């Protein structure tokens, strides 16, 4: 089944440039006191190599080109390329002040995004399913959401909602304050006809109540914190009642138990861990 939402497979140059400018300003890159003292106001040319210090799925070629847009890029590997420790990711030649003052911002981004892509790739390869998508969530770093969701796609995963206006997700707390779910869904559909409607259920009984009390087409159902057996029973009901509905599972699914959900007739597994628990990969910039 096709993804519910737009995928961040590529980021625009304008967006990357805007964010990089913001990050460099935060780091006072134009007032690098250490580099100023080291160079004594002299213009010095340098050649730096960006090097992987461990195995990873690399993300950030466009970021390197943006950060060092005024330097000579002799080599930049492609997004999604698998690196081993010691592999050269890129070679940059230019003003030493430029390279040194932008090093930390660049490496922070490359390390973070490559960590996300690498962990996502582990989940995708472990599951090894053409039918079930590994999905991200909104558990992202404020200010880095587009970058992090882009890294998920590089790792072979898929993007779920980008933000709260992208589509609806009725969870326990929403359902607790709704007096008439069917009326709420009708009003929603009238106002936002093209937005996806997704509802979270925790039990088979809750799922049956949902179908018995709603008349609006539901685009996706999230089966939350269910065992594989419970997921199988619920997915059978959904396939019968709403064949077009996207079935997603979430909650407590890890690399260790992921394969237990492989044969449950679902469309996606959302895993917040691929963004909020990803460990940054070690990457360095070293002058030749």
| Domain regions of the chain by residue span | 13-123+279-287, 124-276
Q: What is the pLDDT of residue 50?
A: 97
Is 288 annotated in the active site?
A: no
Q: Does the pLDDT value for residue 74 go beyond 90? A: no
pLDDT tens, residue by residue, 5-59: 999 999 999 999 999 999 999 989 888 888 778 777 778 889 999 999 999 999 9
Q: Tens digit of pLDDT for each residue in 86-109?
A: 999 999 999 988 898 999 999 999
The mean-pLDDT minimum among 42-46, 50-54, 196-200, 256-260 falls in 42-46
CB 264 within 8 A of CB 283: no
Residue-wise pLDDT tens digits, 211-242: 998 889 999 999 999 999 999 999 999 999 99
For the chain, the distance separating the N- and C-terminal CA atoms, rounded to the nearest angstrom, is: 49
Catalytic residue among 224, 248, 267, 281: 224
Interatomic CA distance for residues 271 and 208, integer angstroms? 25
Six token digits for residue 84:
């081993």
Active-site residue, 224 included: yes
Beta strand 197-201 with 168-170: parallel, antiparallel or unpaired? parallel
Residue-level pLDDT at 36: 79
- In this predicted structure, the answer to whether residue 167 has a pLDDT above a threshold of 80 is yes
pLDDT of 180 over the 80 cut:
yes
Say whether 130 is catalytic: no
Query: Percent of the chain beyond pLDDT 90?
Result: 84
Question: Given this model, what pLDDT does residue 33 score?
Answer: 84
pLDDT at 86: 97
Q: Looking at domain 13-123+279-287, which CATH architecture does it have?
A: Alpha-Beta Complex (3.90)
| Distance separating alpha carbons of residues 158 and 115, to the nearest angstrom | 16
Active site residue 148: no
Rounded to 5 degrees, φ, ψ at 6 are: -65, 140
Q: What is the mean pLDDT of residues 155-165?
A: 97
Q: Which CATH superfamily is domain 124-276 in?
A: Aldolase class I (3.20.20.70)
pLDDT of 282 reads 98
- 65, 82, 139, 195: which one is catalytic? 139
Catalytic site includes residue 200:
yes
Residue 70 has pLDDT above 90, yes or no: no
């Amino acid at each position: 089944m096709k993804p519910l939402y737009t995928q961040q497979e590529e980021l625009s140059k304008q967006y990357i440039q805007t964010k990089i400018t913001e990050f460099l300003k935060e780091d006072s890159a134009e007032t690098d006191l250490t580099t100023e003292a080291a160079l004594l106001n002299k213009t010095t040319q340098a050649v730096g190599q960006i090097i992987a210090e461990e195995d990873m799925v690399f993300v950030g070629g466009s970021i390197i080109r943006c950060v060092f847009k005024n330097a000579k890029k002799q080599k930049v590997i492609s997004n999604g390329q698998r690196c081993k420790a010691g592999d050269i990711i890129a070679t940059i030649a230019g003003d030493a002040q430029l390279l040194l003052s932008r090093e930390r911002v660049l490496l922070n981004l490359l390390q973070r995004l490559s960590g996300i892509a690498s962990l996502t790739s582990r989940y995708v390869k472990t599951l090894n399913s053409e039918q079930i998508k590994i999905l991200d969530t909104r558990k992202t770093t404020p200010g880095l959401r587009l970058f992090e969701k882009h890294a998920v796609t590089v790792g072979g995963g898929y993007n779920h909602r980008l933000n709260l206006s992208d589509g609806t997700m009725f969870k326990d707390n929403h359902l607790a304050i709704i007096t008439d779910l069917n009326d709420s869904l009708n009003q929603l559909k009238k106002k936002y006809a093209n937005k996806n409607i997704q509802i979270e259920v925790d039990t088979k009984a809750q799922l049956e109540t949902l179908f018995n009390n709603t008349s609006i087409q539901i685009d996706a159902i999230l089966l939350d914190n269910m065992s594989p057996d419970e997921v199988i029973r619920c997915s059978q009901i959904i396939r019968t009642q709403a064949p077009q509905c996207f079935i997603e599972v979430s909650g407590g699914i890890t690399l260790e138990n992921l394969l237990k959900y492989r044969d449950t007739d679902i469309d996606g597994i959302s895993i917040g861990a691929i963004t909020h628990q990803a460990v940054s990969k070690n990457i360095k910039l070293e002058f030749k």
